[in-house]
Amino acid sequence: MNNSIKTFVLLAAFVALFMLIGGLIGGVKGMLFAGLFAGVMNFFAYWYSDKMVLSMYNAQEVGPHNAADLYVLVQNLAARANLPMPRVYVINQPQPNAFATGRNPQNAAVAFTVGIISLLDEKELEGVIAHELSHILHRDILLSTVSATIAGAISALAGVAMWFGVRDSDGRRNWVASILIGIFAPMAASVIQLAISRSREYMADASAAQLTYNPLALASALTKIENNARGIVFTTAEEHPATAQMMIINPLHSNSNNADNLFSTHPTTANRISRLQDISRQMNLK
């Protein structure tokens, strides 16, 4: 299934789950309350998440005066993608990784660890930069905020169900249904949210391949990152695991399985590489 269509289907499933649980608990008023509650929580995150994340990772902004090679690569690819030049940051962590943040292309930033800069050659680093710029181009930060808002609303409704109960058609509280909703609704919301995240990673990979016209360079970069990240602890990511889904590869553990896991933030590296190899063949590249 096309990743854009898959994302739309998953968002539709999110909304359907939200409406179902809201209707069971409190009807329209219950849904509106949960939506407002989650929206307020995520409004601040949407506007200030870039500053928060960059601060917690102690990211240092760089420019052509102190990181010329990296800055020029970002500048050239941003121009090729018809994007405003994002702010560029370096994180003093040895684990190779990178992420993009910012509420829109005009207020975006890309960050790279010293580990990834020293590990990759120029073409591989271009592939990583193009991947992160693709997240900005497709407004994936906004999408992740929307999915987090709906997931938060579902969790809030599930909490209400656990405390106050779901009523049957005759008005009596059904505590079995309440407990089941309280346990499984947040789990279902998490599964859908993570599926959206994995789908966007595939899309960013494909977009990066088109932008650089070198999908195998990104495949090579992912291989190097995966192999070198296994034995290196990313301290800040361990302290803030919710930020793991932002990274180009999950910084908390290696995805070594052959199939994408329902509860994983990223597709397996092997599957991503396989898709990039398919794209290379479609481009008639060797």
Q: Would you list the domain boundaries of the chain?
A: 3-282
- CB contact at 8 A, 103 and 46: yes
Number of other CB atoms surrounding residue 265 within 10 Å: 23
pLDDT at 123 over 80: yes
Task: Kindly report which listed range (41-45, 57-61, 114-118, 215-219) carries the lowest average pLDDT score.
Answer: 41-45
Band of pLDDT at residue 177, cut at 50, 70 and 90: confident
**pLDDT band at residue 46 using 50, 70 and 90 as cut-offs:** low
User: Of the given ranges (7-21, 116-130, 241-255), which has the lowest mean pLDDT?
Assistant: 7-21
Cβ–Cβ < 8 Å for 259, 265: no
| Secondary structure element (H or E) that encloses residue 140, with its range | helix 140-164
Q: Which long-range contacts (CB under 8 A, 24 or more apart) does 257-266 make?
A: 260/198, 262/191, 262/194, 262/195, 263/190, 263/191, 263/194, 264/194, 264/198, 265/194, 265/197, 265/198, 266/197, 266/198, 266/201
Q: Check whether 166 has a pLDDT greater than 60.
A: yes
Name which residue leads in pLDDT, 76 or 23: 76
pLDDT of residue 254: 45
Nearest CA to 193 out of 5, 2, 4, 7 is that of 7
Out of 8-22, 94-108, 150-164, 224-238, which region has the weakest mean confidence (pLDDT)? 8-22
Q: What is the CA radius of gyration of the chain?
A: 20
Angstrom distance (rounded) from CA 147 to CA 166: 25
* 22-26, 40-44, 94-98, range with greatest mean pLDDT: 94-98
Instruction: Say if CB 53 and CB 246 are below 8 A apart.
Output: yes
Q: Name, in order, each residue with C-beta under 8 angstroms of 40's C-beta and a sequence gap of 6 or more.
A: none
pLDDT on residue 88:
98
Order of strands across the sheet that contains 98-101: 60-62, 87-91, 109-113, 98-101
pLDDT at position 185 is 79
Q: Pick the residue with more confidence: 65 or 160?
A: 65
The pLDDT score that the predictor gives to residue 156 is 74
pLDDT at 39: 62
**pLDDT mean across residues, the chain:** 83
Paired tokens of 175: 């505590």
Lowest-confidence range among 17-21, 203-207, 262-266?
17-21
- For residue 255, pLDDT over 50 is answered with no
Query: Percent of the chain having pLDDT more than 70?
Result: 77
More confident residue, 133 or 103: 133
Write out the two tokens for 261: 């896991």
Q: Cα dihedral sign for 180, 181, 185, 186?
A: negative
For residue 146, pLDDT over 90 is answered with no
Percentage, residues of the chain above pLDDT 90: 45
pLDDT at site 268: 92
Grade residue 256 by pLDDT with cuts at 50, 70 and 90. Answer: very low
Exposure letters 128-142 (e unless 16+ CB within 10 A, then b): bbbbbbbbbbbbbbe
Q: Is 132 a catalytic residue?
A: yes
| 115 vs 154, residue with greater confidence | 115
Question: Token digits for 34?
Answer: 């949960």
Contact 215, 283 (CB under 8 A): yes
List, for residues 52-97, the tens digit of each pLDDT value.
889 999 999 999 999 999 999 999 999 999 999 999 999 999 999 9
pLDDT at residue 160 above 50? yes
Catalytic residue among 132, 201, 226, 239: 132
